[in-house]
Amino acid sequence: MPEKKLRITFLCESCDGKISVLLTHVGKKGKCPKCKHAIIVPAEHDLTLLDDPVPEEYKIQNLPPSPARAPEEVIERESEEESNAENCESGTGRRLPWIIDSFLYPTSVSGLIHLGIFTIIPLLSSVLGILLPSFGALGFSANLAISLYLWWFVTECVRDSAKGGTRVPEAFATADLGEMWSQAQHIIGCYLIFAGPVGFYYMFTDRTDIVFWLLLGYGVLFLPMGLLACIIFDSISGLNPVLLIGSIFSTFFQYCALVFLIGGVVLIFGAMTIMETDQAQSASFPALILGAVLNSLLLYAVFIVAHLLGRFYWRHQEKLNW
């Protein structure tokens, strides 16, 4: 009676042929007995306790000792994992394809509550300002406080998405006004450095010449990465040019896709709001309601962009090496 030995059974990656070897061969190199494809005995397998010898056709061939995986397999596996994360993000809590699910990011209970907060409070402030002229100073203070809260909350959305979050987090004013102001400074600083030049140039020249387009390209290229770096580092030091340029080149194609995707979000929601902007600027009550609706659409887009930035870091943090 032959001695019982632990064996493992797995499938060839190339031909799906069944292969069976002793457990001691895990991690070693060999060839598939059917298609001769080079393989490495995997650590994940089915264990069997066999009394009889394994049929010759199931035995792996040429098993020299090898303590580690072949570099080619490591590279192929990393590429496959990255591709899977890019295309479907399986196993990350998403119920729909990631591109669709990203547009549903603000639809959590917390997201809808915050959309209401950032929409209704400014609306009430405007209505009270019309009804009670003396309310102006108090209304300004309320709008300033809600604006600081908004920018702080946007940074929380980025950070939560950078950890793998797929919906707006449940963070309700867990920071004081000082911290909120600090976060607002980072965001305002990014906009002034990257979007400010093209804005000021157009404001003072009213021209769309080659200088305008160069400044616009500079802003489009660096603003998303600058915002992400400032938020992740929680410091203006994230605007280090060496850091930003290196990060863009290390994730160049993925980053270009991110920029185009953010641009698409801006265009979609911008087109939905620009058409009615003139009517929304009047002081009538219907115009205030319309303005609130447009404001909520813009906020919805802001939350989506924050999520896209955070998920970009989540997918490519090893390449960014921050």
The predicted model scores a pTM of 0.67
Q: Which two tokens stand for residue 210?
A: 């080659």
Whether residue 36 is contained in a domain is answered as yes
Q: Is residue 79 part of a domain?
A: no
The verdict on 51 and 196 lying in the same domain is no
In whole angstroms, give the CA distance from residue 106 to residue 112.
Answer: 7
Checking if the pLDDT of 222 tops 60, the result is yes
Proportion of the chain above pLDDT 70, given as a percent: 78
Instruction: Look up the domain containing 18 and give its range.
Output: 5-69
**Number of structural domains found in the chain:** 2
Q: Are 58 and 20 in contact (CB under 8 A)?
A: yes
Please indicate, yes or no, if residue 81 is contained in any of the structural domains: no
**Are residues 119 and 292 in contact, defined by beta-carbon separation less than 8 angstroms?**
yes
Residues 114 and 206 in one domain: yes
Are both 119 and 50 inside the same structural domain? no
Verify that 161 and 292 share a domain, yes or no: yes
In a domain, 117, yes or no: yes
- Do 60 and 140 sit in the same domain of this protein? no
Domain end point (choices 69, 89, 122): 69
Contacts of 141 (CB under 8 A, 6+ apart): none
Contact 228, 309 (CB under 8 A): yes
Both tokens of 136, joined, read 């102006």
Considering the domain architecture, whether residues 110 and 52 belong to the same structural domain is answered as: no
pLDDT for 115-174, tens place per residue?
999 999 888 888 887 787 777 778 788 888 899 999 999 999 999 999 989 999 987 777
User: Does residue 85 lie in a domain region?
Assistant: no
